C-alpha cells in the first residue's frame, strides 16, 4: 500500500473545520489514553524519587524554593492556579487559530509536531508513570486546589485524567512550540519578545503550583523536539518524489 496519500494528507493544511475536528479528536484520544493509566502510587512515587535524586545530583532541585517564593507574593498563588487551568488550552488554541489564519504555510508542520509529540508523551505516561510534586509527599502544596477551588485530586477530576502522567510536561512542551514558532515568524519585536517569554511563564506556572519538576519540563521540550523531527521527516518524504520528478523533467527537456 502506497504511503503517498498519507504523506499528502499530513503535509498540507485542510479546511478549518477539518483541522478543528482533527485536533479535537487528538485531544479526546489524549485524555482517554492518559486516563487509562493504572500505575500504583508507590510505583509513581518511586519514579518521582529517582527524578528528585537526579536533580539533586546535578544541583538544580529548586522547585520548593520557587513555590515558596511564589506563595509569598500576595495574589500570586491564585493567579498561577488560574493560569495552570486555563493558559495551556487557551494559549495553544489561540496560537493555532492565529497560525492557520495568518501563516497557513507553517500550520501542517506545527500540527504534525503536536500530534507526534502527544503520541510520544502518551507512550511515556504508560511506561514511566510519575507522581507530580504535589502528590509525592515531598512538602509541596497543591496551590491550584487550595487557591482556585478546583480540586485536582478529587474523584470527579480523577476519573478524567491520570494523576501520574507528569513526564513529559506537555504544558511546557506545547508552550515551547508556541513560543519558538511565534518568535520565528512574527514581524514585530514586541510580539517576538512576548513569545519567547511565554514558555518561561509556563515553566513558572507548572513549578510554582506543584504540578511539575524541572525534569518534567525538559522532557516536554525533548518530546516537542522529537515531534518536530518526525514532522520534518514526513514533509521531506513528500518533497523527495517532487524533487526527483523535477530533476527528471529537467534532463528530458535538456
Over residues 135-164, the mean pLDDT reads 75
Give me the residue label for grid cell 509529540.
117
Among 14-28, 116-130, 217-231, which stretch is predicted with the lowest mean pLDDT? 14-28
Q: What are phi and psi of 109, to 5 degrees?
A: -60, -45
How many CB atoms neighbour CB 32 within 10 A? 12
> 179 with 232: CB under 8 angstroms?
no
Place 90 in a pLDDT band, splitting at 50, 70 and 90.
very high
241 — pLDDT class (breaks 50, 70, 90): low
SS3 sequence, 155-175? HHHHCCCCCCECCCCHHHHHH
Q: What is the pLDDT of residues 184-196, one digit of tens each?
A: 999 999 999 999 9
Do residues 170 and 118 make contact, with C-beta atoms less than 8 angstroms apart?
yes
Q: What pLDDT, on a 0 to 100 scale, did the predictor assign at position 126?
A: 87
Across residues 135-162, what is the average pLDDT? Answer: 74
pLDDT given for residue 251 in this prediction: 42
When the pLDDT of each residue in the chain is averaged and rounded to a whole number, the result is 83
pLDDT at 53 over 50: yes
Average pLDDT over residues 116-123: 93
How many percent of the chain have pLDDT more than 90? 64
Residue 121, pLDDT > 60, answer yes
Strand ranges for the chain from DSSP E: none
C-alpha cell read off for 145: 486546589
Say if residue 182's pLDDT is above 50. Answer: yes
Task: Give the lowest-confidence range in 13-22, 118-127, 162-171, 206-215.
Answer: 13-22
Report the pLDDT averaged over residues 24-50. 75
Give the pLDDT score at 140. 94
Q: Is the pLDDT of residue 206 over 80?
A: yes
What pLDDT is attached to residue 252?
37
Q: What is the pLDDT of residue 70?
A: 95
Highest mean predicted confidence (pLDDT) among 123-132, 188-197, 227-236: 188-197
pTM assigned to the model: 0.83
Quick one: pLDDT at residue 60? 93
Q: What is the mean pLDDT of residues 198-202?
A: 98
Exposure of 188 by Cβ count < 10 A (0-12 exposed, 13-18 middle, 19+ buried)?
Answer: exposed
- Strand-pair partners of 43: none
Dist. CA 212–CA 156, nearest whole Å: 21
pLDDT bucket at 149, cuts 50 / 70 / 90: confident
Amino acid at each position: 500500500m502506497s504511503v503517498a496519500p498519507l504523506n499528502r494528507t499530513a503535509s498540507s493544511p485542510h479546511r478549518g473545520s477539518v483541522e478543528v475536528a482533527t485536533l479535537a479528536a487528538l485531544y479526546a484520544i489524549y485524555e482517554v489514553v492518559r486516563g487509562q493509566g493504572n500505575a500504583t502510587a508507590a510505583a509513581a512515587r518511586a519514579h518521582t524519587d529517582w527524578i528528585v535524586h537526579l536533580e539533586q545530583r546535578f544541583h538544580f532541585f529548586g522547585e520548593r524554593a520557587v513555590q515558596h517564593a511564589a506563595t509569598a507574593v500576595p495574589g500570586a498563588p491564585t493567579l498561577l492556579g488560574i493560569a495552570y487551568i486555563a493558559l495551556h488550552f487557551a494559549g495553544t488554541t489561540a496560537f493555532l487559530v492565529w497560525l492557520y489564519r495568518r501563516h497557513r504555510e507553517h500550520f501542517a508542520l506545527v500540527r504534525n509536531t503536536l500530534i507526534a509529540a502527544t503520541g510520544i508523551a502518551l507512550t511515556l505516561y504508560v511506561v514511566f508513570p510519575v507522581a507530580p510534586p504535589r502528590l509525592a509527599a515531598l512538602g509541596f502544596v497543591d496551590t491550584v486546589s487550595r487557591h482556585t477551588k478546583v480540586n485536582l485530586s478529587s474523584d470527579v477530576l480523577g476519573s478524567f485524567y491520570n494523576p501520574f502522567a507528569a513526564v513529559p510536561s506537555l504544558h511546557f512542551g506545547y508552550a515551547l512550540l508556541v513560543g519558538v514558532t511565534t518568535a520565528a515568524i512574527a514581524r514585530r519585536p514586541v510580539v517576538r519578545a512576548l513569545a519567547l517569554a511565554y514558555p518561561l511563564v509556563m515553566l513558572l506556572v507548572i513549578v510554582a503550583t506543584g504540578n511539575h519538576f524541572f525534569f518534567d519540563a525538559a522532557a516536554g521540550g525533548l518530546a516537542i523536539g522529537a515531534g518536530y523531527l518526525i514532522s520534518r521527516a514526513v514533509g521531506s518524504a513528500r518533497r523527495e518524489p517532487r524533487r526527483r520528478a523535477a530533476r527528471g523533467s529537467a534532463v528530458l527537456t535538456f
